[in-house]
Structure 1
Amino acid sequence: MTLSINTDDLIAVSVGGAIAHPGFAGLPAEPYRLAADGTPFLLPTFGGIVYNVSVGERAFGWAADCIHPGVSVKGADDVKNRGLNVFACVGNTATVMTGQAQGAKGVVTGKSGRFSEQVIVHFPKDVRTKMAVGDQIVVKAIGTGIEISGHEAVACKGLSPDLLGKLSTRSENGVLKVGVVATIPPHLVGAGAGLTSEGGSLHMQSTDRALLAELGLDTLKLGDIVAFGDTDSRYNHGYLRGATSIGVVGQTDGPRAGYGPGITVLMTAPGGQLSTFEDRSANIATLLSLEP
């Protein structure tokens, strides 16, 4: 169905940053992290240009710790980066402003980290080979402030009008229903709980692989539209019976406890105003016609 939104009131504004370098904290000096069972590991993590992982591909099984598909962008300082992370919306257009790939167009596909470190942008794989760490990226940010007519209790978070218009939706008895690949139960909510929902990601815990297989969550793909049950993300992420949050799988799985695939929340409502139905094809790679 076609949703009516306040299109004429929305502001389009530039936000930007540079392709971020993968990094490690200065201390402790050793770069190892601990898996859920206490085993030390060293794997690629978020940041940089990822040449061989894209939206639409599997979220599990990579030798990685919550890797970002495509390109990771970060602002020049904490203040600018916060503006980038809050105002950039999934589905917004991003443009390369410097370097050999200057002029290339990409699409925002997610936001990263408990503390809103980076914005994730998809560029075709052949474009990525021309890009360099430090290249400047500008996002035409539009979506903050969306209101859906007849569904004012549904809060939109980092959701572009373009993506909203392409989601599979139904309106029944005042409830907005959205097609999702799967629903994640609240006891699998991991890192990000309790923190702001205006940027960053909310992780699905993935240590219990048998449960994931039982629930059909172990086959999720990057870009899948999913829901969190009993999760209220209006102002931060927390448990609330009857609440629903809907988001997009933006990052891969990882070995750490509490850090499975990272999900960028797009919509939320506190008390039954938002619901779901199964749509196994609900993936932004298809919805936004992303080039491989």
Structure 2
Amino acid sequence: MTNTTNVATNSADIVAVSAMGAIVNPAFSALPAEPYRLKSDGTAFLWPTFGGIVYNVSTGDSAFGWSGDCIHPSVSIAHADANKNRGLNVFACVGNIATIVSGAAKGAKGIVTGKSGRFSDQVIVHFDMETRRKLAVDDKIMVRAEGVGMSLPEHPDVSMKSLSPALFDLLPKKAEDGVLKIGVTGIVPPHFVGAGAGLTSEGGSLHIQSTDRATLKDLGLDALRLGDVVAFQDTDSRYNHGYLRGAMSIGIVGQTDGPRAGYGPGCTIVMTAPSGQLGCYDAPNTNIAPLLEIVQ
């Protein structure tokens, strides 16, 4: 069991609300006419990408090595109405319970493990393998969305993002000299921040660039797993993601690596602070799969 210090939250005041989505089909843009994408070296590739039901990649597995482009483990959901999908993407939080409400697996429960898609347009939900085999594209899934509005009375400068109160309580953490420190598996320097920079921090993902494999290994980031907790140095994610010296953001790896320049494992940011109020410490193997007792 990971050692953690209790940190007070306003959990009694947080509103839990339903948010509906349906399993989405993997898709390609209508243009360009060909489906190929380009690797960082300029060569073309055609691999599976995000969306659909993924039968053999789960939270807890390696974030690297798959013949896929930013794969979402398990299941990706969205709402067909753009405004309603925005509500789903903003209000769903990592660690929320999701219930299947239609189809052959009706009644089965899963756990939100990330947010992603091209522009914050999908939510990632883990279901065990037996449940996945019963699912179909367009099956409806209801998320008990709880976490938006969470704050820390003793650490008011730390902004909470897309994180359920239950998962926050489980994360390894400690408070030292007024600084909230989170246990992480790795630290991402600012020059390794990739796709997602400049976009909203209320949904979607922030990517760890992985084109430079030698430096990735030197940083100890080449062994990251889906579900690992990581820190982003000098990254301010209060309203969107951007460089700010002294800032820090904490993320959870939600999707796999990909071969395109500027991409790599995609992370859902769950907390951030602008000037030293948030820190981190080395806590190897900190991963939401064992914390949430995720069943493969």
TM-score, length of structure 1 as denominator length: 0.99
User: Counterpart in 2 of 1:40?
Assistant: 44
Q: CA deviation at 1:281?
A: 2.1
Q: Deviations over 1:71-103 (max 9, x none)?
A: 000112110110000000000000000000000
Give the match's secondary structure for 1:49: coil
Matching residue within 139, 142, 145 for 2:143: 139
User: Counterpart in 2 of 1:212?
Assistant: 216
Give the match's secondary structure for 1:263: strand
Give the match's secondary structure for 1:17: strand
2:77 maps to 1:85: no
Could you tell me which amino acid in structure 2 is paired with residue 82 of structure 1?
A: R
User: Counterpart in 2 of 1:228?
Assistant: 232
Unaligned runs of 5+ in 1: none
Query: What is the alpha-carbon distance in structure 2 between the residues aligned to residue 260 and residue 16 of structure 1?
Result: 29
Query: What is the alpha-carbon distance in structure 2 between the residues aligned to residue 116 and residue 5 of structure 1?
Result: 26
Give the match's secondary structure for 2:88: helix
Give the match's secondary structure for 2:255: coil
2:115 maps to 1:115: no
Matching residue within 71, 75, 78 for 1:71: 75
User: Counterpart in 2 of 1:199?
Assistant: 203
Matching residue within 123, 127, 131 for 1:127: 131
Give the match's secondary structure for 1:86: helix
Could you tell me which amino acid in structure 1 is paired with residue 204 of structure 2?
A: G
Give the match's secondary structure for 1:16: strand
Q: Deviations over 1:141-168 (max 9, x none)?
A: 0000001121010000000001000000
Query: What is the alpha-carbon distance in structure 1 between the residues aligned to residue 108 and residue 242 of structure 2?
Result: 38
2:274 maps to 1:270: yes
User: Counterpart in 2 of 1:53?
Assistant: 57
Could you tell me which amino acid in structure 2 is paired with residue 201 of structure 1?
A: S
Q: Deviations over 1:203-244 (max 9, x none)?
A: 010000000011111100000000100000000000000000
User: Counterpart in 1 of 2:24?
Assistant: 20
User: Counterpart in 2 of 1:168?
Assistant: 172
User: Counterpart in 1 of 2:157?
Assistant: 153
Could you tell me which amino acid in structure 2 is paired with residue 78 of structure 1?
A: A
User: Counterpart in 2 of 1:94?
Assistant: 98
Could you tell me which amino acid in structure 2 is paired with residue 108 of structure 1?
A: V
Q: CA deviation at 1:114?
A: 4.6
Query: What is the alpha-carbon distance in structure 1 between the residues aligned to residue 254 and residue 20 of structure 2?
Result: 19
Could you tell me which amino acid in structure 2 is paired with residue 272 of structure 1?
A: G
- 8 Å contact 1:114–1:195 — kept in the other structure? no
Give the match's secondary structure for 1:281: coil
Give the match's secondary structure for 1:207: coil
Q: CA deviation at 1:113?
A: 2.9
Unaligned runs of 5+ in 2: none
Matching residue within 239, 244, 257 for 1:240: 244
2:289 maps to 1:285: yes
Could you tell me which amino acid in structure 1 is paired with residue 139 of structure 2?
A: D
Give the match's secondary structure for 2:281: strand
Could you tell me which amino acid in structure 2 is paired with residue 147 of structure 1?
A: S
Q: Percent identity?
A: 65
Q: How many residue pairs were aligned?
A: 292
Give the match's secondary structure for 1:3: coil
Could you tell me which amino acid in structure 2 is paired with residue 184 of structure 1?
A: V
User: Counterpart in 2 of 1:257?
Assistant: 261
- 8 Å contact 1:100–1:131 — kept in the other structure? yes
- Structure 1 residue runs of 4+, over 2 Å off? none
Query: What is the alpha-carbon distance in structure 2 between the residues aligned to residue 31 and residue 117 of structure 1?
Result: 20
Give the match's secondary structure for 1:129: helix
- 8 Å contact 1:223–1:284 — kept in the other structure? yes
User: Counterpart in 1 of 2:189?
Assistant: 185
Matching residue within 8, 11, 15 for 2:12: 8
RMSD: 0.6
